[in-house]
Amino acid sequence: MLTRAFNLENIKKYEIENNVSLIDILNTLTIDNMAILISIGNNMCSEELAYEIIDKALDEGKGIVDIHNEIRDSLFGRALEEDESGIDITKCKTLTDVFMNISMNLMSVGVSYSEFWSMNTSEMHIVFNNLIHKIKAETDRRMAEYHGLAGMIGAAAWGKLPKEPPKMEITRRIDGLDDDEDSDTINNFSNLTKIASRYGGGYNGE
């Protein structure tokens, strides 16, 4: 394992203190840039240790592209699918910009600012998935209530209603949620996982 976890606070701290964008660093495939990312992904370990990790991976038979892709997937909290479409990264100068936008959205559903920045990128996806299921359960509950009300006041006019109320269907992470009042939060969260494919997906052999 090249990295343990990418803590959001460490990502923000590195970008602000060094006035750089980790998006640009990830997009430029060099040993030095991979060492920077490995250092951040190992709780800001020393540069010397980061290069040792790369050397060990190369000795084990991993190629430069394999190392890059493993770092990329860890940075974004999960393995990216080759067919994922990316968003326009020109709208996101840094990863901190992306995370700041997500944190503001999550604050509206009960995640505090400090709680968000204490997470790593993998934990962020756990929160995301829990949020999806919470929204689905609440939406299904509302649909059931509306279905019962409609049955009481409108059965005579509308005829026989279905026995079961409609339910939200989630076929993928954000499919079917475009009309939900919380869709902005879901889409912003999903954008984080998709952003890399616009600039890092080329290393998947595309």
Q: In the prediction, which pLDDT does 138 show?
A: 82
- Percent of the chain whose predicted confidence (pLDDT) is above 90: 36
Given a contact cutoff of 8 angstroms between Cβ atoms, the answer to whether 87 and 195 are in contact is yes
Phi then psi for 95, rounded to 5 degrees? -65, -30
**What tokens were used for 130?**
């829990």
pLDDT tens digit string along 115-173?
A: 999 999 989 878 877 877 777 788 888 877 776 766 666 555 555 555 566 666 655 44
Sign of CA dihedral 102, 105, 109, 111: positive
Q: In the prediction, which pLDDT does 154 show?
A: 58
pLDDT tens digit string along 6-34?
A: 999 999 999 999 999 999 999 899 999 99
DSSP for 132-182 reads HHHHHHHHHHHHHHHHHHHHHHHHHHH-PPPSS------SSSSTT-TTSTT
Q: How far are the Cα atoms of 60, 75, 110, 147 from residue 205, in angstroms, in the given order?
A: 21, 19, 40, 49
Whether the model clears a pTM of 0.75, i.e. scores above it, the answer is: no
What amino acid occupies position 89?
A: I
